[in-house]
Amino acid sequence: MDSASAVQKAPLLFLAPMAGVTNTVFRRLCKNLGADVLTTEFVSAEGILHRNERTRRYIEFQPDERPVGVQLFGANPERLAEAAKAVIDWVGPDFIDLNFGCPVNKVVSRNGGSSLLKDCPLLKKVAASVVSAAGPVPVTAKIRIGWDSKTVNATETARILEGEGIQRLAVHGRTKEQGYTGQADWAVISAVVSAVRIPVIGNGDLDSATIALARWKESGAAGLMIGRAAMNHPWIFREIRMALEGGASAPVVGLREKWDFIVHHAELEIAWWNGVEEPAMKSMRSRLMSYTRGLPGGARLRESLQHLDSLARLREIAEGHVSAHQECA
C-alpha cells in the first residue's frame, strides 16, 4: 500500500497486545470504545503446545471481539508452526500475529521478540514456517525499527516479511535498546510504508487524538496501534474515531463516567473469574493504578486501592471519591 492510497482511507484502530493488560475483558471494553482490531496477550509457542490452563486463558476470546488475532512468540520455526496450527484448531482466530518486537529481557534472552531483528535469516524462516502452517488464516507481524540506533533495519525486515507472505505489519517506532524511553521515530515508520505493499500499522507515542491524526497523515499508515495510552485512558479510541470522522471533539471524560467504567470493568473481570472476587480484584490492581493517574488526590487514592479485595469496597471508594470531588464529576 502506498502513502497516497493509505491517506485517502480512514485508518483502522488497533489495540496493541500487552502482557498482563489486554485480556478478553479489557479488549472488549476497548472494542466498545472504538477499537477495530484486537490481539491477545502474547503467548509462547511452548505454552501453546503444552496446552496449559494459563495459556488457554490468555488466548480465549468472545465472538464480539472479532476480528481478533492470537500473538505468538518464539524462535524455533518448526515449533512456532506447530503452535500456529494448534491455535487455529483450538480457538479459530481471524489471524496469527508474530511478535518480533518485544524488548523485555526475559523474552529476548530466549531468542524471542526483538532478538530476531538481529537475525534476519532466522526471522525469515520463522515467518515462512508459520505462513505455510497457517494455511488460509492470515499471518501478521509486529516489529520494532531495529535493535539499536546503529542497526535500524525496519525497511529490510519489512521486505523480508512481506516476501514470506506476512499480510500486515505493525511497526513500533523505537529500537529494542530504547525500550519505552525516548521518542518513537515515525520517519522510519513512514519509510516502511513506502518500502512495502502490505498494510503498515504505526505504533508509538499515540497519546492523543491530535497526535494520532498528525502521525497518520504524515506517515500514510493504514492503521494506528494504541498501547500504553489505552492502559490509562481507553477512551482514546473514541476520541480518535470522532476526530477521524471530522465531528466535534469527544466529550471530556468526567469523574463519574470514569468511575462507572472502572466498576464495570471490575464486574466483568469477576465474571471472567467465574464469580470469584479475590483473584479478579487482585488482577485489577494494576489496571486501577493506571486508571486513576491524574485524578485528584491520586496518591492517597492509589494507596487505598493497593490491597483491594472486593467489589463492594471498590464501589465504596468510587462513591467517596466522586462525592469529595463534585467539581470534577
- 102 within 8 A of 42, measured Cβ to Cβ: yes
Of 128, 139, 206, give the one whose Cα is nearest residue 168.
Answer: 139
Q: Is-contact 27 269, C-beta < 8 A?
A: no
How many residues belong to the chain? 329
- Strand, coil or helix: 94: coil
The answer for 179, left when phi > 0, alpha when psi is -120 to 50, beta otherwise, is: left
Which contacts (CB < 8 Å, 24+ apart) does range 150-155 have?
151/117, 151/118, 151/175, 152/185, 152/188, 153/117, 153/120, 154/188, 154/189, 154/191, 154/192, 155/188, 155/191, 155/192, 155/195
Helices and strands of the chain, counted as H and E runs: 16, 9
What is the set of active-site residues?
Answer: 102
What is the rounded CA–CA span in Å between residue 275 and residue 270?
A: 5
Secondary structure (3-state) at 274: coil
| Centroid of chain to Cα 122 | 25
Please give the single-letter amino acid code of residue 283: S
CA–CA gap between residue 207 and residue 200 (Å, rounded):
19
